[in-house]
Amino acid sequence: MNIIIIICVPIVAFILLALGVGIFVKKRMKHEAKEFINPDFSGDISTIESIQHHFGKIRAATNNFSDDNKLGQGGFGAVYMGKLVHGKEIAVKRLSKDSGQGDQEFKNEVLLLAKLQHRNLVRLLGFSIEGIERLLVYEFVRNGSLDQILFDRTKSSKLDWNSRYRIIVGIAKGVLYLHEDSRLMIIHRDLKASNVLLDGNMNPKIADFGMARLVVPDATIESTNLIVGTYGYMAPEYARYGHFSVKSDVFSFGVIVLEIITGRKIFTQNEEDRGDLLSCAWRSWREGTISNLIDRTLSETNGGQPDMVRCIHIALLCVQQNTASRPTMASVVVMLNSSTITLPIPTEPGFYFSRTTSILHLESPNTQSPNNTYSSMGDLYPQ
């Protein structure tokens, strides 16, 4: 009898131990699989813990922030492509400087931004902090940024008029959400083609919204002493005096629309179209030759040109020098969705560049050099 007990007790103990380990491993694997799955609109992102992730796991996903995984370098940090153990792809922004905030304040801001959900915004999945390291984890958008396709002669052929119009409307809806429909009023302050990503269906997703809340301390809605943004896209009142508002984003949106329709960058040194795009568009408007601005790949199509010209008209309304004259994004969305609304006549846009120089002369409150003042908000997939 004693022999039976001696034999059975270890066997039972081993079986129970094995079952316990199996249950633990199964639960752990289930937790691992769920950890980075982006919450949908009904998901629980109500606590900091629900979006904070282990630094080592994200570092491993990017192969220790390998150059091979690097998607680009922006003004506020590098961006890496990452792949988690269970195969989910992510984009990781590694912030390059201290935000000037405490850890708790930073976490609270990230939590607020993670709750902003819109089909035309890149989803912020979470964050990680270790020492001075701060990481932001985003969904991975496979087709990269709009500028990488739009300004490539081969790739741009994929963007027919229907695709470009859908991109224009999608960007407008995303900015409108940030301005009026989100829990926070977000002014992007660096809206540009490289901060618009395209998903597998060429739907636009705005990146880097809310970065000013995370990395630019002591800024108000009215003005800031630290000008962040990209020349050509910045509204004149922001570039010169540091004054920004929702109308600053409207200006940037207008520039993007002109780029989408013309296939040209805001400023180019190409011999065939030397000069800044705003000046060219304004001259063409006044001379009645606005259709000459349309991208050649689009001008060959039939039936869409009136819509293209109307979009250029809307873009010129957005880039007017006078801030008060620019429409709100709500008005822009209405104008884009209705061909029967009579559009007002645009006034002169804000000019940046002369016809003979590529240098922007600013009357800025910031005494930084142009290289420092030109600080992108950190393109998610910068070139």
Q: Any idea which residues carry the catalytic annotation?
A: 190
Closest CA to 260 of 169, 333, 176: 169
* Distances from the Cα of 108 to the Cα of 45, 129, 172, 208, 289, angstroms: 12, 13, 27, 17, 51
Rounded Cα distance between 152 and 160, Å, is: 14
Cβ neighbours of residue 237 closer than 8 Å, sequence gap 6 or more: 243, 244, 248, 323
The contacts of residue 244 (CB under 8 Å, 6+ apart) are 187, 189, 221, 222, 223, 224, 235, 237, 238
CA 226 to the chain's CA centroid: 20
Could you tell me where the beta strands, DSSP code E, fall in 123-195? 124-130, 133-139
Give the C-alpha distances (Å, rounded to integers) separating 33 from 58, 86, 87, 278. 14, 6, 9, 49
